[in-house]
Amino acid sequence: MSLATTMIALFLQIITCILFTTTASSPHGFTIDLIHHGSNASSSRVTSDTELGSPYANTVFDNVVYLMKLQIGTPPFEIEAILDTGSELVWTQCLPCPNCYDQNAPIFDPSKSSTFKEKRCDTNDHSCPYEIVYNDNSYTTGTLATETVTIHSTSGEPFVMPETIIGCSRNSSGFRPSFSGIVGLNWAPLSLVTQMGAEYPGFISYCFSGKGTSKINFGGNANIAGDGVVSTTMFVTTAKPGSYYLNLDAVSVGDNRIETLGTPFHALLGNILIDSGTTYTYLPESYCSLVKEAVEKVVTADRVVDISGDDMLCYHSDTIEIFPVITMHFSGGADLVLDKYNMYAESEGGGLFCLAIKCSNPTQEAAIFGNRAQHNFLVGYDSSSLLVSFKPTDCSKLWS
């Protein structure tokens, strides 16, 4: 399931009535481990603020998205939620949950946590309701609360965030049973990144791999340097001021460079959202068709009708090597030459490959740079200097 995460409603009255303070156990930045489903969880021991180190915790790769393992409540209760740079709120399903989707793991029970506290707002029942609908029509509604959030580290020194604002979902649909919710990682006020406090001023980086161990870094550990790093400007939009937008100047299919200049797509300042919570890359219909036509001119294999209903460009083939290399050209000379795995998805049974670029419809976010296209790049976000950086990296070996 593609999770194109666009928040369309988080009531203004909620935002205006919220005041929050956050402390953390380490001022040096921390690292979170990204691993495959089924790996052992880390210890839930909580340490004091005086035990400094570089916190490090597990998350889970779940085939189409990455799930971050974190603990909420006292005593800590572990959840596995989608790691999502495309949205703001950290939320999980809560008991009692009369209209929740089926969830494999136990659902969080606020009544068993000594640190759970419902937020109070100027509503009839003084609750702080929220509602989020995502691009794929999955949704969550519930109320806001403050709770302790704990993320563990390799040194055994967990990163502890008391009184963190989270969403307690009582009505949600459209999510896989392996998901316990979403961890919003943009830089809007209620995101996990913002609530970490001033010691972590909007620095994050990750390296996604379809196998082995991957990581996400926060604070000082998120710096990307060395040979091969390219950077592009992060744009702030008035419609979604906390989201990470880039400017896509062109897409090359082999040697055929297709400019966005002269298309409605190019007229936007910050025309594509970089989003770890969405699997595929989306382009607006008119420009998307130009890219697909360029691929069709190169590929000589038999075209297959996409039965998924997404009108993806699919072919019968025994090998991925027949497909052209695709390069994304972002502003400032950030040219990302993508591996064929990034841009062509093979069916489970093999023998069928589809271009991992979908054409967005009018109800969706117009353009999204999804997580599959980001595989094997060390990707860094620096909200202070408004830059996103990329470094080609074998993510399965980076921290092995």
Nearest to 30, CA basis, from 71, 64, 58, 62: 58
At residue 317, does pLDDT exceed 80?
yes
> Rounded CA gap, 400 and 214, in Å?
9
List the catalytic residue out of 33, 84, 249, 382. Answer: 84
> Rounded CA gap, 191 and 183, in Å?
8
286 domain-assigned: yes
Q: In terms of pLDDT, which residue wins out, 173 or 396?
A: 173
pLDDT tens per residue across span 353-384? 999 999 988 777 889 999 999 999 999 999 88
Give the pLDDT band (50/70/90) at residue 9.
very low
129 domain-assigned: yes
pLDDT tens per residue across span 218-233? 877 778 888 999 999 9
Q: Which residues pair with 232 in a beta bridge?
A: 388
Number of domains in the chain: 2
CA 152 remoteness from chain centre: 20
Residues 72, 148: contact at Cβ < 8 Å? Answer: yes
In terms of DSSP H, where are the helices of the chain?
12-16, 192-195, 285-298, 340-343, 395-398
Of 200, 222, 244, which residue constitutes the final position of a domain?
222
The reported pTM is 0.86
Phi, psi of 218 (to 5 degrees): -130, 150
CATH of the domain at 286: 2.40.70.10
Q: Are residues 256 and 194 in the same domain?
A: no
Look up 84 and say whether it is catalytic: yes
5 domain-assigned: no
The Cα-based distances of 38 to 35, 59, 61, 92, 232 in angstroms read: 9, 10, 9, 20, 36
Other beta carbons less than 10 A from residue 355's beta carbon:
24
Look up 275 and say whether it is catalytic: yes
Q: Where are the beta strands (DSSP E) in 302-376?
A: 303-304, 314-316, 326-330, 334-338, 344-346, 352-355, 357-360, 368-369
Q: Per-residue DSSP letters for 213-244?
A: -EEEEEGGGG---STT-EEEEPBP-SSSTTS-
Q: Are residues 265 and 390 in the same domain?
A: yes
Question: Domain residues for 131?
Answer: 12-222
161-175, 296-310, 318-332, 381-395: the lowest-pLDDT one: 296-310
pLDDT tens per residue across span 245-270? 999 999 999 999 999 988 878 767 89
Q: Are residues 87 and 140 in the same domain?
A: yes
Categorise residue 257: left if φ over 0, alpha if ψ from -120 to 50, beta otherwise. Answer: beta
Of 222, 249, 282, which residue constitutes the final position of a domain?
222
Q: Are residues 98 and 122 in the same domain?
A: yes
List the catalytic residue out of 102, 122, 255, 275. Answer: 275
Widest CA span in the chain: 64
Percent of the chain surpassing pLDDT 70: 81
Of 222, 243, 275, which residue constitutes the final position of a domain?
222
At residue 47, does pLDDT exceed 60?
no
Q: Are residues 250 and 179 in the same domain?
A: no
Q: Sign of dihedral through CA atoms 166, 242, 103, 172? A: positive
Q: Are residues 273 and 325 in the same domain?
A: yes
Q: Are residues 212 and 102 in the same domain?
A: yes
Q: Are residues 185 and 288 in the same domain?
A: no
